[in-house]
A and B are shown apart, each in its own frame.
Chain A
C-alpha cells in the first residue's frame, strides 16, 4: 500500500480525514500514484496536475524521504521506502501569505 499525504484543502475536497492508502499497480512512479489517486477520488482531477498535459500545478510540490521529487520524471521509480509503504508520498502546497 502506498501512503499519500494531501494538503488540507484537498482532503476537504475529497472528504478524506487522514492519509490516503492506495493500491498502485505496476511500477511505483509519480504518475502511477497520481493516476491511482485520481481514479479513486475523481474530484481531485485537475487539482494536482493539469487535466490535459498532466504537468504538476506550479504551486504544488512532491516530497518523500526528506527529498524534493517535484522535478523528477513522472515515470521515474519512487524511492523504495515509498514503494513499500514505509514512508509517505507528500503533496505539499506552497507556503504563501502574510
Chain B
C-alpha cells in the first residue's frame, strides 16, 4: 500500500509525519534540529529518500541539511568529515556567495532599500529548496536577499544563477515587510530549461535557458500599493502553483488577488471571483484535476488571520472564479492563525490528499480532496512549510 510522508518546517525544528494510504493514523517524528528555524524541507522526485532542508537562525546563520534515508538521519553535505591533511577542502554547504564584479569584488548590482537608496545584496537565509525533477544531487535554493542558487553536488557547494539579478530590473527590486526573498521555484516538467520564480516584492520571472537569462512575467498583475499598479516589476507575488500535466497553466496567490495564466506567465488574468477576500499566501493544485485549485483566504494584509475567526479552505473546480468554502473539520470560531506561503501541499494518491500548516502549530490533512479535514498534529511550533511525498 502507498504511504505518505509530510515534511513540516517550523520556527523551532522539523517534524516528519507518516501514514499509510488511508491517512487516518499518523506517526509523528521530531523535532529534528530542535531550536532552529526550519524554513523548508523538500524531497527529491527522483529519489524519495533524498530530502533537503534549510536550517537557519538569526544567531548562527544558514545551514543546509541533507538526508539520504527518508529523514531518519541527516548530514551537512560535505561538512561532516574533518579534512585530511593535504586532502581536498571540506564542502561549503552553507556558503551562498553572490556573484561579484571582477573589477570591484563587490556583489553584482544593488537593489532599492526602504529609504529609496541603493543597497548591496546581503545573504540572509534560504527560503525554499527545489530539488531537480530528475537528478537527486541537483537542487535549487531561493534565498533572501532575492537570488537563485543551484547545487549539482547534493548541496555541498552552490553557485548563483546571477542572470536573474542581472537582467536589468534588479536595481528596482525592493524588500517587502518580510524581507526581499525568492520564495517560489517551479520547475517545468516538460521543458528542462524553463524555471519560474517569484520574489517579494519584485514579482514573477521566467527563464527558458536553464537560468542564464530571465524575463519578468507580470503582465496583467495589478497592485494598487505601488506607484504604477501595472508596472513591469514591484508586485508582491506570494506563491505560484502549477499542475505537472499542464505546465503552461500557472496559478498565483498575489498579495491581493488570485491570478491565472494560460501561457506560462506571459499574461495573467484575475480569477478571485466570489472569494470572501482575495488576500492570502498559499495556492495549490489537485494532483489529478488540473482545474481544481485551493487557497486559504486571509482577511487582509493588516490582519493576517481568517475571516470571522473561521478557518476555511476555498476550492475552485473551474480553474478559478467560482469558489466553494471547505470547512468540515476545520475550526468554525475563534481561529486567528495564518497559513504561510510554503505551508500547503498535495499528495498524489488516487483520492488526492491536501495538507496545510498554520502559525498556531496545527497541520491539517484531508484525504478526500478537501471535502473533510482533520488535524494531524495540533501543537507544533509555528509552521513555516509543508511538503508531501507520496511513497510506493
Contact = CB atoms under 8 A, between A and B. Distances in A.
Interface stretch (B90-98, B108-116, B137-145, B379-387): B90-98
A60 B59 contact: yes
B63 A43 contact: yes
B58 A59 contact: yes
B62 A46 contact: yes
A45 B92 contact: yes
Contact of B36 (A9, A51, A57, A60): A9
Contacts of B57: 9
Nearest to B95: A51
A8 B60 CA distance: 11
A27 interface: no
B76 interface: yes
Given A39-B83, A43-B80, A57 B59 contact: yes
Contacts of A47: 60-61, 63, 94
Contacts of B78: 42
Contacts of A7: 59
Nearest to B64: A43
A1 interface: no
Given A9-B36, A39-B82, A42-B79, A51 B92 contact: yes
A57 B59 CA distance: 7
Given A13-B63, A57-B61, A8 B95 contact: no
B34 interface: yes
Interface string A21-63: 0000000000000000001111101111001100001011000
A12 interface: yes
Contacts of B81: 42
B35 interface: yes
Contacts of A8: 35
A12 to B, nearest CB: 7
Nearest to A43: B79
B36 to A, nearest CB: 7
Nearest to A13: B63
A9 B78 CA distance: 19
B90 A9 contact: no
B83 A42 contact: yes
A5 interface: no
Nearest to A52: B97
A93 interface: yes
A41 B90 CA distance: 10
B94 A93 contact: no
A10 interface: yes
A43 B34 CA distance: 17
Contacts of B90: 42, 45
A46 B94 contact: yes
Contacts of B62: 46
A45 B35 contact: no
A46 B78 CA distance: 14
Nearest to B75: A43
A52 B100 CA distance: 12
Contact of B97 (A10, A51, A60): A51
Nearest to A49: B61
A15 B61 CA distance: 18
A13 B97 CA distance: 22
Contacts of A52: 97
A14 to B, nearest CB: 9
A57 B60 contact: yes
A69 B90 CA distance: 29
A47 B48 CA distance: 29
11 contacts: A7-B59, A9-B59, A12-B34, A42-B76, A42-B90, A45-B95, A46-B94, A47-B60, A47-B94, A51-B97, A52-B97
Interface of A: 7-10, 12-13, 39-43, 45-48, 51-52, 57, 59-60, 93-94
Interface of B: 33-36, 57-63, 76, 78-83, 90-95, 97
Q: Please list the 8 inter-chain residue pairs (A to B) with the smallest Cβ-Cβ separation, ordered nearest first.
A: A42-B90, A43-B79, A43-B76, A47-B60, A42-B79, A59-B59, A46-B94, A93-B59
